[in-house]
Structures are given as structure tokens and as C-alpha cells.
Amino acid sequence: MAGTFSLRIVSPEGDLLKENVEFVVFPGAMGELGILPNHAPLIAGLDIGVIRYTLNGTVKHAAIAGGFVEVVDNSAIVLADTAELGGQIDVKRAMEAKERALKRLSARTNEIDVRRAELALRRAAARISAYGDKK
């Protein structure tokens, strides 16, 4: 296909996505990273966030909780710690996780692991953001 490249998202649970896409934006560890066809080879760390990709002219989303991306030979392969396609996210569960994290952060007692609560909040926010893709 002209003007496309292969995007594959893999998590410990297995392959999540393998499609030919026109464009993708990754939540890089140092900021967003946009990839078009024929991009130069690279390997980059990924942060908690939402992958946005254009498939047949439609923007789709996937939530990830960190990992790595390798771009080479018109192919981008994501090795994610966890990943969910936007349309498959249980938004009720994500909202509950967000509320739990906010409660923990507002309590700030010695028993609360603040860093863990902050990461849980970021993961929940990414899942909620990616949920908008229900198609």
C-alpha cells in the first residue's frame, strides 16, 4: 500500500494490533513522537499514554503503560508493558481506578505509596482518553 507502513502492538498478553497505517503518534519518554511512512530507523522508550494512529483516514487510539518502539524498514513495532485498544477499554473500571488513585493522593498518609498512586492515576487517565475510540 502506498503511503502506509506496518504498525504492530505487542504486550505480554500477545499481539494487540497489526495494521497498515498512514501515521502514528507515540507517547515517548521525552515527548510525543510522530512517525510517517519511510521514517528513519529508531528505537525509543515509551511512557504511559495514548498511541494515536490513522487507519484508512480514521484516527484510532490505544492506551499503553510504557514500553519501547522500534521503527525500521517501514514497520513500527511496539513492545508495551500493557496495552488496550480504545474500543475495548472498560471505561467504568478505568473511572473507578482513577477515583481510587485520587483518594489515595488526597489522603497522603504514611501508608500510601505516592509514586504508585500517581502512576495508577496516569494509567487510568490514558485508558479513559483512549476510550473515545469506540469504532
Within a 10 A sphere around the Cβ of 19, how many other Cβ atoms? 15
Q: Per residue in 74-125, pLDDT tens?
A: 999 999 999 999 999 999 999 999 999 999 888 877 777 888 889 999 999 9
Domain ranges of the chain: 5-86, 88-130
Tell me if the pTM is above 0.85. Answer: yes
Is 60:53 a contact under the CB 8 Å cutoff?
yes
- State how far the alpha carbon of 127 is from the alpha carbons of 1, 26, 63, in Å: 31, 15, 5
Specify the CATH class of 88-130 in words.
mainly alpha
Residue with grid cell 517501514, as numbered in its chain: 74
Q: Which CATH architecture has domain 5-86?
A: Sandwich (2.60)
Per DSSP, the chain holds a count of helices (H) and strands (E) of: 2, 8
Give the CA-trace dihedral at 4, 5, 8, 9, to 10 degrees: -70
